[in-house]
Amino acid sequence: MELSWEDIVWSDPDGGRIVLHGVLPTTVYPQALRPRMEWHALALLEGPEIEDVWVLEEESEKESPGINLASAILGGGIDSALIEDLTQLDELQTGRFPDPEPRRLHRLALRHNRPVYCIEPALDDSAWEEQRTLEAKASTHWRKLLSMVRIGKKWRKAVKVRIFDAVPPPKNVAKDMATAAVLTAAWWDLTESRINASLSNARDKRFAQRLRGALAKEREKHGEAATLLLPMVQTWRPAILGMLNSTPEPEEIISSSGPSGQQEEE
């Protein structure tokens, strides 16, 4: 199920595995939902600039607590609708910046000198530049822009559709996590609706190629035991899993060094 709480493990036919760890945006994960297996490297479905973005968000939070949350809500649109509803869930710590679970795992990777692979290509990649250009054209078509004017109605409808997909969280985990998962699924549905299926598939295939490339790199050091941990939007996992199952040709990728001297967040 899309909203299941168990991590999805994909085994590469060439050896090694990729663990798809579902996360909910801006939400602090309880211990019971954090990965427990041994992993050798971290993959992020982000560009290499994400590490600097996280550092800037942390610095701005120190200077003015809550400024990133306020900015996200004032920005309007789908993201604002999601975050506003998430922050109404009293049992959870939400609306946190940088995104808590990916950033926690990132800091853990740096602390233990584990490689970090930014799966989204850099902007100087011509094929990726074309992909992003096509996505921008699709999302700014006048019909899509007009639909965003009525975002409140579309948001409520999207949430209503997803309510029946809710999966109760494990024992001793706040029940509001199920609500947060429904909200995240609705947000992802609306986000993806701004582009077409062809573009989504092309993006996911490229990501799968680069994920396999990252795993191949780790296999050189750890053999068939190589494990790549991938924190990603919970409801996006089936699409990426499907692309991995198609075993696209691995794309060579190098790990990102990331900022040094970080400490793990407990």
| pTM (two decimals) | 0.93
pLDDT in tens, 190-219: 999 999 999 999 999 999 999 999 999 999
Spatial CA neighbour of 34 closest among 82, 96, 100, 83: 100
Looking at every residue in the chain, the average pLDDT score rounds to: 93
Say how far apart CA 201 and CA 113 lie, in whole Å.
33
Instruction: Identify whether the C-beta of residue 67 lies closer than 8 Å to the C-beta of residue 139.
Output: no
What is the pLDDT, as a whole number, of residue 256?
A: 83
pLDDT in tens, 60-71: 999 999 999 999
**Every domain of the chain and the residues it spans:** 8-245
Instruction: Identify whether the C-beta of residue 47 lies closer than 8 Å to the C-beta of residue 121.
Output: yes
